[in-house]
Amino acid sequence: MSKILVMHGEKKELMKIFKVSHVTVRESLNGRSTTQLALRIKKAAVERGGVEIEKN
């Protein structure tokens, strides 16, 4: 599993783009959710400057 690190305020922007809650974005970026929506959120986060790291 990997985790996506994003800049301050980016989670809020992802919430607006996908019309989802903070919890949905957090779970997606932390790799705890593997739904199609979570994968789309992760992809958008990386495209918007997020950094993917391996989670221990």
Tokens encoding 5? 């690190």
Q: Which amino acid is at 38?
A: A
* pLDDT confidence of residue 35: 97
Domain boundaries along the sequence of the chain = 2-54
The tens digit of pLDDT for each residue in 2-52 reads 899 999 999 999 999 999 999 999 999 999 999 999 999 999 999 999 999
Q: How far apart are CA 42 and CA 30, in angstroms?
A: 9
* pLDDT confidence of residue 31: 93
Inform me whether the pLDDT recorded for 55 exceeds 80. Answer: no
Please spell the DSSP secondary structure of 3-37, one letter per residue: EEE--TTHHHHHHHHHT--HHHHHHHHTT---SHH
